[in-house]
Chain A
Amino acid sequence: MAWGPGGTPDLHASRGVPGLDPRAPLPPDGSRRSRILGGDGGGRSILIAIASTAVFFGVIGAVIVNSPGWPSIKEAFFDGEVFADSFPKILERFWVNVFIFCVAEAFVLVFALAIAVLRSLPGPVFLPLRLAAAAYTDVFRGLPTILVILLLGFGAPALELQGLPDSDLFWAIVALVLVYSAYVAEVYRAGIESVHPSQVAAARSLGLSRWQSLRFVVLPQAVRRVIPPLLNDFIGLQKDSALVAVLGGVIEGLRETQIITSARFDFTPYMTLALIYLVITIPMTRFVDWLIQRDRRRRQAGGTL
């Protein structure tokens, strides 16, 4: 079981990674209809499905809305006026999160690849590099992300060393890059190791050097294979951009939410931010699922290594 940066079990980290994903086989005939409806297909199934869904969610909705605590929950978490007021403000500040996770992801993808390659360098002369890369991955996968952000966000500026930037935003991004590179490096490594050694044998036999084999034969195949877990880690990074709020100095989505919440004595802004996050993360998750399914279909059909 892989562990995500938030400390919770990260089932997504091994999804789609060849050899690590033990889960769900394709339905026997692979038809779209049986997958969504769980039935045989045909008009009657669709009607039953619609009716059943309406009844199920209708009952749940009715129970919730009629429960004794509902009015106060509604007022505290789902207040329409507070929502309308907070939405534009939080959305504007959310762009800081977007900046953070886009910049961080760009560095993570490159840095993690370097670490993964360092870890796979063969021969006794490269042992120190392999050890350093392994130690790096162990440390940064072993620490809570929030701890690293606090350590760098408060600790680095406190050193008052020349040449080190003071900005909270800078150190927050550095912290996220350090932590996520450790996870993504492992993903890349799994991808590299999943490329069959016969590919390397063929490349080396043609006279390509180790580096050329890595660059032209192994890495293109490895990276292509691990796109689903890479995307999953990107989604994790998007969510963890909110951890930056703990530094106080960067007014991003969550910090703005906290500010509005304490001003209005109402928790609806949290729901606003939650909605904004879900609008971004859910489509991406569905996309990753689709990629994994397509990959699995291809592999079963083509049967190539």
Chain B
Amino acid sequence: MVCLIGASGSGKSTLLRCINLLEPIDAGRIWIEGDEVTVDGVDVNAVRRRIGIVFQAFNLFPHMTVRRNVTLAQEKALGRSRGDADARAVELLERFGLGDKRDDYPDRLSGGQQQRVAIVRALAMDPDIMLLDEVTSALDPVLVAEVLDVIRELAAAGMTMVIATHEMGFARDVANRVCFLYDGRILEEGPPQQMFSEPREASTRRFLDRIIAAGRM
């Protein structure tokens, strides 16, 4: 699991959106599992099917039930049968404690529940990689923990993830690698123990000091 940290505007979200080709890139190349995805004529939809992305604002489809939110893309993009898609949806929803919410509409759920549904929706596509873009930033602190637990569980199960986050404590505990972004570039990266205790760059140190001063670590 790679955690991207940095101030707002440093490019964390943009980087994630570039990986799943939501943002067009100006220069450089991206490889996913050995395949270059930034060549001309790449099948964008196929690439996106291999990557799950979850956004800060959940972005659930409000006109569909939770269950339909999770099964829609499975059926239409992956071509699974209704029965298979439904089974996978129910399985994942149960696993993350949302089983009894499956026939509710998103507006009946709390923020934390909606975000977990968003994660399930992405997981149901059986992606190779999960990208999580500040998924807890819009939640009030009480609900943050339940979402972090889900992410922890995914990481423990071996899912490759790139996470943009402000939750430094979480990053320190769970990440394999931490990247500090500054002004659109990766200024520094390394294992969490090194990044948080002995950052090399001055900007990194300044950023971490501010975080500590704000009581967030």
Contacts and interface: CB of A to CB of B under 8 A. Distances in A.
Pick from B22, B51, B59 the residue with the most CB of A within 10 Å. B59
Given A201-B22, A302-B107, A304-B107, A208 B59 contact: no
Contacts of B72: 206, 208, 216
For chain B, give the interface size range: 20 to 34
Contacts of A206: 48-49, 72-73, 77, 121-122, 125
A221 B106 CA distance: 14
Contacts of A209: 45, 77
A212 B77 contact: yes
Interface in B48-102: 48-49, 51-53, 55, 57, 59-63, 72-73, 76-78
A207 B45 contact: yes
Contacts of A205: 20, 22, 48, 51-53, 122
Nearest to B47: A207
B57 A198 contact: yes
A207 B107 contact: no
A302 B114 CA distance: 14
A207 B22 CA distance: 11
Interface of A is mostly: helix
A204 interface: yes
Contact of A207 (B46, B57, B60, B106): B46
Nearest to B44: A204
Contact of B125 (A201, A204, A207, A304): A207
A128 interface: no
Contacts of A220: 63
Contact of B76 (A198, A201, A208, A224): A208
Interface string A284-305: 0000000000000000001011
Nearest to B76: A212
A204 B46 CA distance: 11
Interface in A179-229: 198-199, 201-209, 212, 216-217, 220-221, 224
A129 to B, nearest CB: 22
A207 B73 contact: yes
Interface in A48-104: none
Given A198-B57, A212-B76, A304-B107, A204 B62 contact: no
Pick from B20, B22, B61, B122 the residue with the most CB of A within 10 Å. B61
Nearest to B70: A206
A264 B106 CA distance: 63
A217 B22 contact: no
A191 B73 CA distance: 23
Contacts of A302: 107
B103 to A, nearest CB: 18
A165 B37 CA distance: 56
Nearest to B58: A202
A207 B49 contact: yes
Interface string A247-291: 000000000000000000000000000000000000000000000
A133 to B, nearest CB: 26
Interface of A: 198-199, 201-209, 212, 216-217, 220-221, 224, 302, 304-305
Interface of B: 20, 22, 45-46, 48-49, 51-53, 55, 57, 59-63, 72-73, 76-78, 106-107, 121-122, 125
11 contacts: A199-B59, A202-B61, A205-B20, A205-B53, A206-B48, A206-B77, A207-B49, A207-B78, A208-B77, A209-B77, A224-B63
